A and B are shown apart, each in its own frame.
Chain A
Amino acid sequence: MNVQEKFYWLMGGIAALLVVASLIGWILQVRAASRGGSATIDNLNARTRAWWVMVAVLAACFLLGQTATVLLFAIASVFALREFVTLTPTRPGDHMPLVACFYIMLPVQYWLIWYGWYGLFAVFLPVYGFLSLPVLMAMSGDTEGFLERVTKIQWGVLITVYCISYVPALLLLDLHGDAGRNLLLIIYLLLVVQISDVLQYVFGKLFGKHAIAPRVSPSKTVEGFIGGGLSAIGIGTALWRITPFTPLQACAMSTVIVVTGFLGGLSLSAAKRSLGAKDWGSMIEGHGGMLDRFDSVSFAAPVFFHLCRYYFTG
């Protein structure tokens, strides 16, 4: 099977999965309607509908090629950073650093990926972004809560721009062979992370009893994590043919993705709570904001990228 065929099989498989999910949702809704409806089932169906849209957008960008893919994640970063800044209390003195984040750092970071400059991509934000933000803020002359304010902006830009940009950065890897294999690797990462999230949610709703961190995220349960995580690892292993990995390596990689994704969701939930919110935003129906969908991706992507780069490139 060549790369193109694998892509169509994979997309067909995802579409089939969504058809099944939509059917189940429809049956549940019909059954619940006789009992006056259920908020959980409405939310489930809203989530499935949003998944159709997200998968369609992703597939379209992959078909359009690398530029469209890089652009798509740049836009996702804009929305994620916008949500982060909206929830973070800012003062007029933060204006210059924020303008620099949105109008300089974010475009440059994604341009470096598009241009293929790995060396600068990896250090641009952690070194130059990190150092220039306090400088810009100091120049505004407002020292009230300086350290807290600058840290929040640095944190936001590293999570929403630097970490998320690692997804399209997978295009930079030289995987010995067709460039299309890099796109498959992106789909593999996103699929395992999101399937893990979805299955943890489903297992949690069905069997969840023991909350892992009740104060941080009441919906994360031991049962959900184990059931959903193991199933996601199983799916990630079964998909080894679309990756450069052997089945055993695929199992190890999907374990890494599932665990880092879970930790990302946990950490960003804590960040969200400390900012006093339940969801990052409301732009994706049923899911919350962009960052609610990308929280686990932002932790899984950099680790996955560097493991792939270390072990699987020439």
Chain B
Amino acid sequence: MWLSRLLAGMMRVLVGAQPRWIGCKPSPALRIYYANHTSHFDALALWSALPNRLRATTRPVAAKDYWSTGLRAWVATNGFNALFIDRNADRSAGDPLAPLGEALQRGESLIIFPEGTRRAQALPSPFKSGLFHLATRFANAELVPVYLDNLYRSMPKGTFLPVPLTCSVRFGKPLERRAEEAKADFLERARAAIVELA
């Protein structure tokens, strides 16, 4: 779709969004790309770095409170096929990760940010447990660590215009699965895989 191409093109000019396939190659296999989170452009940048044919079946998970109003909602829905997640959801109202599980079940790959919120720093903070639950439920999905370089400098928290920078999107080796691994160990190992790419 034209809007998708336009968005991807804009990302190339503004922030470079150059893909570096370090630990794996682009593949239509079911994947969960998980990355460090430093700016509102992260999901869009990572998604733009994917080859055209993979973009159609890869859905960035975006925060509902930011992306689901007005023009942003139109861009997110029609432009980069975002999947909204409600970060402030009341647990009793059901599993906030349910839409993610449904998408994976349909065979759509996901882009998620396990830190849960943006941090203005080069290295990711400890992860929330969402990644662990998805990884356990979907043992067939490849978990691809992705490091987003420099984006936190392009658009720090609280700013509206991105400063053009050459940001790279580094794809690492899919995380190896270990049976019976404790949640905390898994999350720390997943985080370390991103740090290694930094």
Contacts and interface: CB of A to CB of B under 8 A. Distances in A.
* Chain B interface SS verdict (over half): loop
A103 B166 contact: no
B192 interface: no
A95 B16 CA distance: 18
Interface in B107-166: 120, 150, 153, 156-157, 159, 161, 163-166
Interface string A263-296: 0000000000000000001100000000000000
A4 B82 CA distance: 53
A98 B163 contact: yes
Contacts of B166: 82-83, 86, 281
B164 A95 contact: no
A246 B184 CA distance: 78
Nearest to A98: B163
A99 B120 contact: no
Nearest to B156: A92
Nearest to B157: A92
A98 B14 CA distance: 13
A81 B150 CA distance: 15
A85 interface: yes
Contacts of A83: 166
Contacts of B164: 78, 81-82, 85, 102
Contacts of B165: 82, 85-86
A83 B163 CA distance: 12
A103 B120 contact: no
Choose among A82, A86, A92, A103 the residue with the greatest number of B CB atoms under 10 Å from its CB. Answer: A86
Task: Pick from B159, B161, B164 the residue with the most CB of A within 10 Å.
Answer: B164
A95 B163 contact: yes
A13 B29 CA distance: 51
A92 B156 CA distance: 6
Contacts of A103: 161
A102 B49 CA distance: 23
Contacts of B163: 85, 95, 98-99, 102
Interface of A: 78, 81-83, 85-86, 90, 92, 95, 98-99, 102-103, 281-282
Given A78-B164, A86-B150, 11 more contacts: A81-B164, A82-B164, A86-B166, A90-B153, A92-B157, A95-B159, A95-B163, A98-B163, A99-B161, A102-B163, A282-B18
5 contacts: A82-B164, A82-B165, A85-B163, A102-B163, A282-B18
Nearest first, the 7 A-B pairs at minimum CB distance are: A92-B156, A98-B163, A86-B166, A82-B164, A86-B165, A99-B161, A95-B159
